[in-house]
Amino acid sequence: MTLTTEALDDTLPRVPWGEWFETGVTWLTEHGGFVFDGVTTAVEGVVDGLVDVLMLPPPLVLTAILALLALFLRGWKLAVFTLLGFGLIESIELWSDAMDSLALVLVAALVSVLLAIPIGIAAARNDTVSRIVRPVLDLMQTMPAFVYLIPAIFFFSVGVVPGVVATVIFSLPPGVRLTELGIRGVDREMVEAGEAFGATPRGILTGIQVPLAMPSIMAGVNQLIMLSLSMVVIAGMVGAGGLGGVVLDGINRVNIAKGFEGGTAVVVLAIFLDRITSALGDRSAVARATAKV
């Protein structure tokens, strides 16, 4: 015997899941306005300050500085790419937009790192925390990124702040997961050796586990930054501006040239940040020791 649609409707009443979420968002908006106002002020101040710093030197001077950084950390190939890539951004008159996006990404990545590493360490050292955190991370990773913008707009209106908040939520999971994986992957014998020498749990964490897990942690930071950049265009939909606004304007106007130029600038930033963070991971003591083996 098969159940009809009407029978199923009678058997399974609708659960107002979305309405419950909306009620929670409304309650937070009404009772936590001072908190959201404080977050808005802080985030806008940090982003605007970073943009001012990035815009302070002339574009070619900052390009040279970034190229020297690339040369020191990665080598001449990345330095040449930095000169050509950032020179291209300046030549297509997207320098200001690129610096806006770079500031947004750096602030969002910094907040994500400050949250991800402690949560990952706590999850690695406590199975209960890990069991609680894991489904939350699954939800954060699988929820469509556009959904984060809805409550973010309610809490922070439009502008750069909801873009940063949505970017932090979207990019946080890999940082937490890879930090936990790195800490859990440390050889148990190394930890026991530290305990035998009388090291405190804090000393074992800071002196043994974190240094040995640093390649995995930096891989998480790298993925975190890449996901932050992938949110640039989506953040442009809520008024965050930058290259996301350029690409979005190109879509709205069906302007292929403008959209392609904005996308190219995003790619330049992504490759530069990816290579720099990878180089920082490769310069850790564990990575250098592994490379010599």
283 confidence band (pLDDT: 50, 70, 90): low
Q: Tens digit of pLDDT for each residue in 59-102?
A: 999 999 999 999 998 888 889 999 999 999 999 888 988 898 88
The verdict on residue 137 lying in a domain is: yes
What's the total number of domains in the chain?
A: 1
Q: Which residue has the higher pLDDT, 185 or 232?
A: 185
SS (H, E, C) 134-184: HHHHHHHHHCCHHHHHHHHHHHHCCCHHHHHHHHHHHHHHHHHHHHHHHHH
Q: What was the pLDDT predicted at 126?
A: 86
Backbone torsions φ then ψ of 158, nearest 5 degrees:
-100, 160
Q: Tens digit of pLDDT for each residue in 141-161?
A: 887 777 777 777 777 777 788
pLDDT > 70 in the chain, percent: 91
Q: What was the pLDDT predicted at 249?
A: 81
CATH number at residue 102: 1.10.3720.10
Which residue range is the domain that position 246 belongs to? 27-56+92-292
The verdict on residue 231 lying in a domain is: yes
The verdict on residue 285 lying in a domain is: yes
Q: Tens digit of pLDDT for each residue in 17-69?
A: 778 777 877 777 777 777 777 878 888 888 889 888 988 889 999 999 999 99
The verdict on residue 142 lying in a domain is: yes
The verdict on residue 208 lying in a domain is: yes
The verdict on residue 3 lying in a domain is: no
Q: Is the pLDDT of residue 218 over 90?
A: no
The verdict on residue 11 lying in a domain is: no
Q: Which residues contact residue 31 at a Cβ distance below 8 angstroms, ignoring those fewer than 6 apart?
A: none
Phi/psi region, residue 75 (left: phi>0; alpha: psi -120 to 50; beta: rest), is: left
The verdict on residue 13 lying in a domain is: no
Convert 21-32 to b/e letters by CB count within 10 Å (16 or more is b). eeeeeeeeeeee
